[in-house]
A = this chain, B = another copy of it.
Amino acid sequence: MAKKYIIAIDLGGTNLKVALLDLNYRIIARQSFSTRNFSKKDKLIGAIVNSVDKIQKARRLDKQNILGVGLGLPGSADTERGIVYSLTNIPGWKDVRLGRILKQKLRLSVFMDNDANLMCLAEYRLGRARGLRYAVCLTLGTGVGAGIIADGRLYRGANNAAAEVGHLPINEDGPACNCGGKGCLETYIGNNRILAQAKKIFRRSISLEETSRLAAEGDKRALAFWSRTGEHLGVALAGVVNLLNPEAVIIGGGVANAGKALFDKVKKVIRERAMRVQARQVKVFKARLGDAAGLIGAAIMVREALKK
């Protein structure tokens, strides 16, 4: 029998990643593109198809070597019918039957889901949430993505649109959010917002990496900056912990690299503000799979969908 692989695609607002994984979820080959190079929908789909073809040819694989294609999206989608409702930070996508389009062009089985769900699935099967029955996974970047594990499975909601932790309001009269809401967590801890805040505090443009390094060195301004970010995140998570009573909250994405300065504050706020039983139960971990979580989750999705 032909050796089997899985194609995984992680479509982000910044980067498009395409990879080949084996059935142990090891990444065998990968390509990365700047999403902004493909401003038109058809161009982006063309780039995905080209990349998948190239990876197959480079390894001399044909269709029967490929179990299927898994795609992670920064937005909401009908995973069963393969319809993309909309993509955050990528304009021009509305109710696109991407599943059918890719299937026709690639002649492979195609599965898709929200990228935060796939990151959560990866952490659940192979990372920090392994073996848990109830967990919440966050990716902190431009936006706040999240997935929920409930009773050992991804919690989906009526439209597979659940787990929007970034859009929990933490102040009734807080700033307007892109989503139409007000005072959403994302308006306090989204990348753009905290970069602007860091610039104010340090009176110059400063990367989050640098603020993290400075915090680790004990710089007071950097510590105050991360403490404030952790306070907002902790308040929202206290609510999530009261509502979902998870065993763990797992935090990944670029912002999670802030490390101790952020995590200590988040843990403290949850301990102080969440209810006794729930607060005692919950652990806060850094995600284990890092940057590859989306690709690994996409591959796991394909494997599990085909096993059913």
Contacts and interface: CB of A to CB of B under 8 A. Distances in A.
A165 B239 CA distance: 8
Contact of A164 (B156, B167, B242): B242
A168 B185 CA distance: 13
B76 A164 contact: no
Contacts of A232: 172
Interface string A116-159: 00000000000000000110000000000000001101011111
Question: How many monomers of this protein are in the complex?
Answer: 2
Nearest to A153: B151
A238 B183 CA distance: 11
Contacts of A158: 133-134, 245-247, 281-282
A230 to B, nearest CB: 13
Interface string A172-183: 100000011110
A167 B235 contact: no
A239 to B, nearest CB: 4
Contacts of A238: 169, 181
Nearest to A231: B172
A273 B170 CA distance: 13
Nearest to A181: B273
A47 interface: no
B170 A243 contact: no
A272 interface: yes
A61 interface: no
A96 interface: no
A85 interface: yes
Which of A76, A85, A165, A243 neighbours the largest number of chain B CB atoms within 10 Å of its CB? A243
A306 interface: no
A180 B245 contact: no
A34 to B, nearest CB: 27
Interface of A: 76, 85, 133-134, 150-151, 153, 155-165, 167-172, 179-182, 231-232, 235-236, 238-240, 242-247, 272-278, 281-282
Given A162-B244, A165-B243, A180-B273, 5 more contacts: A161-B275, A169-B239, A172-B232, A180-B275, A181-B274
Report, nearest first, the 3 A-B pairs whose CB atoms are least far apart. A157-B245, A162-B245, A164-B242
